[in-house]
Amino acid sequence: MMSLLTVEGLCAGYGELPVLHEVSLHVAEGEIVAIVGANGAGKSTLLSAIAGLLRPTAGRISFRGADITGRAAHRGPGAGLAMVPEGGKLFPFLTVEDNLLLGGYTNEDAKARAARLDEAMDTFPILRERRGQLAGKLSGGERQMCAVARAMMSRPALMMLDEPSVGLSPLMVERIFSVVETLVRREKLTVLLVEQNVGEALELADRAYVLDHGAIVLGGPAAELRRDARIRETYMGL
Ligand SMILES: Nc1ncnc2c1ncn2[C@@H]1O[C@H](COP(=O)(O)OP(=O)(O)OP(=O)(O)O)[C@@H](O)[C@H]1O
Ligand SMILES: [Mg+2]
């Protein structure tokens, strides 16, 4: 399978603080890949660097065969790269519908945007019920669904999700993850998912990497990592 995203020797940080140390990974078309790690391991920093929100100090990121290292984040959605940030980061004073439409801003065809909005609300029927409500008034689960739906509005090839399970009940986590699986099948979507919920993430993913203090320390098929004694002990409390 063709590699959709390749990260090689990526270093990034904040001012004088180095966070990522030569991170290398790849995501093939149609895969669900998880990056798991503890609080502060650098998971969000890694997604920010890939999305172009943070300029790497070294290394290379290529997406669909093009070098996108340091490319501005706003160019992502139009090029097939969408992100669901930590906590969803919706616009709280805009309606659900307007949040979704903003996710489709790169599509200049208003008819196509409206059709896509309809599809998003078919995927998450609760968003149709709440379409006129301010996003800031959504429940945690609804907010996360809205954030996923907003990212899908641009018909991305790769969707990156930053800890979509945070603060949600196990049942809600299952629902969101099952929608992600459906989207992968139905839309040939590829997913890079960052999670602290290691058990659930390894159930969903095809492959996973373990990020520890800004470095990849382990990687492989998710089924293998689920059986790995170190992972079970350190991250799953088993
Ligand atoms: N904007 C920032 N400015 C300075 N330091 C930051 C900034 N964001 C994150 N850091 C630091 O970078 C390190 C990695 O943080 P990051 O948010 O990437 O971790 P994470 O793995 O996403 O953690 P969590 O699971 O808690 O979200 C931490 O030490 C954090 O304090
Ligand atoms: Mg984070």
CA 147 – CA 50 distance, rounded (Å): 18
- Tell me if residue 134 falls in helix, strand or coil: strand
Mutate to test the pocket of ligand 1, among 43, 54, 57, 209 (most ligand atoms within 8 A of CB): 43
Give Cα 108 to chain centroid, integer Å: 24
Question: What separation in Å is there between the alpha carbon of 135 and the centre of ligand 1?
Answer: 26
pLDDT in tens, the chain (238 residues): 689 999 999 999 999 899 999 999 999 999 999 999 999 999 999 999 999 999 999 999 999 999 999 888 888 888 899 999 998 899 999 999 999 999 988 877 888 889 999 999 999 999 999 999 999 999 999 999 999 999 999 999 999 999 999 989 999 999 999 999 999 999 999 999 999 989 999 999 999 999 999 999 999 999 999 998 888 888 877 6
Protein residue closest via CA to atom 7 of ligand 1: 14
Longest dimension (CA), the chain: 52
* Pairwise CA distance, residues 212 & 54, whole Å: 19
Q: What SS3 class is residue 78?
A: helix
Of all ligands present, the nearest one to the C-alpha of 162 is: 2
Closest ligand 1 atom to residue 86 Cα is 27
Q: Where are the domains of the chain?
A: 3-234
Q: What CATH fold (topology level) applies to the domain 3-234?
A: Rossmann fold (3.40.50)
How much is the pTM? 0.94
